[in-house]
Structure 1
Amino acid sequence: MTDQGRRVGEQNPAAPGRADRPVRVLLADDQSLLRMGFRMVLEAEDGISVVGEAADGAAAVSMAEALHPDVILMDVRMPGMDGIAATEQIAARRPESRILILTTFDLDEYAFAGLRAGASGFLLKDTRPADLVQAIRTLAAGDAVVSPRVTRRMLEMFGSHLPAGAPEGPPGQDPRLGGLTARELEVLTLVAEGLSNAEIAGRLFVSETTVKTHVGNLLSKLDLRDRVQAVVLAYETGLVRPG
């Protein structure tokens, strides 16, 4: 089979996070040597299985639908459809798959674009193998790799790339936020400011468990996968503004 769509160890799809099966990983990068290196690192780990390799964005999209990976390592610069466009399509068609953007520079515009497109994190291509493995396990468990604080820094840096239609009126009036309670809006604002659950609990004088409940509720109401996506939405809707 060609570089464009080599499939490895296909299995029946199952929900992410199950303890009785390995985390299924799809590699999307146009450099075959880099894919080989990632695969060697990951398949040496217990509980992780590389189920496929794609050499461009279009192949990544089709293989994500066919192979049901839990985590996708996505390069940004690939021929044809790039990693940002592929991330956007996969996030829309298969939100169960978590996407980890691979980038050359920390906090760059490509990583920012990847998060906006629906990725749950990003890593430098020269990251240590142990950190790569931990990031994949973290995503498979349902958490984001990038902290809200880092996401906020990126949004401050690249705020000009937010949609021009972001509301100019009172914060929180965007219709996408209409289903949130006043307390959930407050929690979302604090998440977007980069605060942890413990810090939010201290600010609001409530328990950390209560904060976790509010965060879970607002993610569910807004149909978001994680806190990183919540931060992006808070800026897009004008609830929090760059600067």
Structure 2
Amino acid sequence: MVLSPLATHTVVTGYLAARGPDHPARTRRQEVLLCAAEGLTNDEIAARLVVSPLTVRTFIQRIMHKLGAHHRAQLVALANRTGFARIPRPPPTAPPPARLRSPARTRPQTANSRPAGAR
């Protein structure tokens, strides 16, 4: 199932706002989702949030289920598409320096060679 960006935004926003703004479970879900969007593993998220990796796995599974995501990458894409989490893009790199071209090489003419265009 593919949702339009507007529908996706509505679903994600509604999910995250399901419990009031001060509800601790809401902020923990947001933290887990943001950490997942950063590309952290469950163990890294657990260490950062001081919870067990099993707790993180449960959070991720429940968020994925409620949002209809089938895998973690889809969950991160939803978070990014809706503006909830922004995946940092690498800074633009400078174009490679222009290569100096050597002068065109011409073949030396020999007695047997013909000028260009001659048959």
Q: TM-score range by the shorter chain?
A: 0.5 to 0.7
User: How far did 1:217 drift?
Assistant: 0.7
- The Cα offsets for residues 159-187 of structure 1, whole Å up to 9 and x where unpaired, read as xxxx6x7xxxxxxxx43222233211211
Q: Does structure 1 conserve the Cα–Cα contact (< 8 Å) formed by 2:37 and 2:87?
A: no
Specify every segment of 5 or more residues in structure 1 that has no aligned partner in the other structure, as ranges: 1-91, 93-116, 118-162, 166-173
2:50, 2:30 → 1: CA distance?
16
Q: 2:27 aligns with which of 182, 185, 202?
A: 182
1:242, 1:227 → 2: CA distance?
14
- SS of the counterpart of 1:194? coil
User: How far did 1:203 drift?
Assistant: 0.5
Is 1:196 aligned to residue 33 of structure 2?
A: no
Match of 2:92 in 1: none
Greater RCO, 1 or 2 (C-alpha within 8 Å, sep 6+)? 2
- SS of the counterpart of 1:232? helix
- Identical-residue share of aligned pairs (%): 43
Residues matched between the structures, number = 74
1:242, 1:209 → 2: CA distance?
25
Alignment map for 1:129-144 (pairs within 5 Å): none
The list of structure 1 runs, each at least 4 consecutive aligned residues, that deviate by more than 3 angstroms after superposition, is none
RMSD (CA atoms):
1.8
User: How far did 1:219 drift?
Assistant: 0.6
1:242, 1:195 → 2: CA distance?
12
More strand by share: 1
- SS of the counterpart of 1:179? helix
Alignment map for 1:113-132 (pairs within 5 Å): none
Match of 1:228 in 2: 73
TM-score (norm 2): 0.56
Q: Which amino acid aligns with 1:204?
A: L
- The Cα offsets for residues 174-222 of structure 1, whole Å up to 9 and x where unpaired, read as 4322223321121111101100000000010000111011011101110
1:242–1:199 CA distance, 2 compared to 1 (3 A) = closer
Q: Does structure 1 conserve the Cα–Cα contact (< 8 Å) formed by 2:46 and 2:52?
A: yes
1:175, 1:182 → 2: CA distance?
18
Specify every segment of 5 or more residues in structure 2 that has no aligned partner in the other structure, as ranges: 17-25, 89-119
2:10, 2:48 → 1: CA distance?
27
- The Cα offsets for residues 85-105 of structure 1, whole Å up to 9 and x where unpaired, read as xxxxxxx3xxxxxxxxxxxxx
Match of 2:58 in 1: 213
1:236, 1:194 → 2: CA distance?
16
Q: Does structure 1 conserve the Cα–Cα contact (< 8 Å) formed by 2:38 and 2:87?
A: no
Q: Which amino acid aligns with 2:15?
A: G
User: How far did 1:242 drift?
Assistant: 4.1
